[in-house]
Amino acid sequence: MVKKIKQVYLGIDIGGTKIAHALFDGKKLITHTQNVGTPGGRSILNVVSGFYKKYSKRYELCGIGISTAGMVSDSGKIVGSTGNIKNWYGTEVKKILEKRHNVPVVVENDANAAAYAEYKIGLAKGSNPLLMVTLGTGVGGGIVINGKVLRGKHFAGGEIGHIKLSYSKHRLCTCSKYDCLEAYASGNGLIALAKHYFPDKKNMHSTKALFSVAEREKHQDNLLALRAVEDWHFYVAEGICNLVQVIDPEKVVLSGGLSLKVNLKLLNKELKKMLLPAMEKSVDKGLVVKSKFGNDAGILGACLLVSDLLI
């Protein structure tokens, strides 16, 4: 008989294309496993249950923490689903899984979960308030105030990708509205910039190509690529500025794949042009930092939320 390890939590991150999972011992992730494709609807819960049954043979699983794309109610129900996960809207995730496995289950929006991880054990540990900005295919965010994730009346707190910028370009966002921050500061927004500066060069219509050329001084398209990247930093800075002036965070944490490409010196330069004079010093003191957790932030945050229930 295999002796079970106590106080281990199962962490799940549900994205539009894949489901990641890991085990958490209360301080750190102790195992990483291969991702599986996201099936959609209730089939997702069967995938989670499969993980639970697999690990419960060796570990004493004390709870399940789930970070997911979409808006999540306090009861763990999906009340606003991303279009990338089919038939996810309306799923009573917490209720179903707690009934199946008889352990505490916490379900949280992925960006909110990531923000909580940064607040608890990240570079911005204890920062109050804390603002998380996720930069990837889209733009998301999470806000932690007095140690609590700000969910809002309709569980849409932190949906920063859909604040409006003061332009009349009428650029369509994935939400079907126009001129959202996401339409400019996301990976898709960066590709739109590439198409603007290089309309006849399809080989430049990707974030990878744009950054690659921007980093090569002797490339014939270097100056135009740099201009596109600088424009992108301006849009990111404008979004951050609008939020900083509203909530006055102690720290702003950047996460997501595109955050790796952010030039903090350039971003801070743009921020200082936009912020109130009284706020400029906070930029020099390291207001904006990059997450150290990478793709693990959502899983970590969800596990921390469920482990906090048992303390």
Q: What is the pLDDT of residues 90-116, one digit of tens each?
A: 999 999 999 999 999 999 999 999 999
Q: What is the pLDDT of residues 295-306, one digit of tens each?
A: 889 999 999 999
**Whether residue 1 has pLDDT greater than 70:** no
**Whether residue 279 has pLDDT greater than 70:** yes
- In a 3-state reduction of DSSP, which class is residue 8? strand
Contact yes or no for 106/302 (Cβ under 8 A): yes
Mean pLDDT of the residues in the chain = 91
6-21: average pLDDT: 89
CA–CA dist 199, 134 (Å, integer): 28
Which two tokens mark 132?
Answer: 């998380």
Which two tokens mark 112?
Answer: 């909110």
Q: What is the pLDDT of residues 128-148, one digit of tens each?
A: 999 999 998 889 899 999 999
Q: How confident is the model at residue 3 (pLDDT cuts 50, 70, 90)?
A: low
**Residue linked to tokens 């496995």:** 101
State the pLDDT at residue 62: 94
Q: pTM value?
A: 0.88
Q: What is the pLDDT of residues 236-278, one digit of tens each?
A: 999 999 999 999 999 999 998 899 999 999 999 999 999 999 8
Beta strands in the chain (DSSP E): 5-14, 18-24, 29-32, 36-37, 59-68, 71-72, 78-80, 105-109, 130-135, 139-145, 148-149, 251-255, 288-290
| List of domains in the chain | 5-114+295-309 (3.30.420.40), 126-291 (3.30.420.40)
55-68: average pLDDT: 94
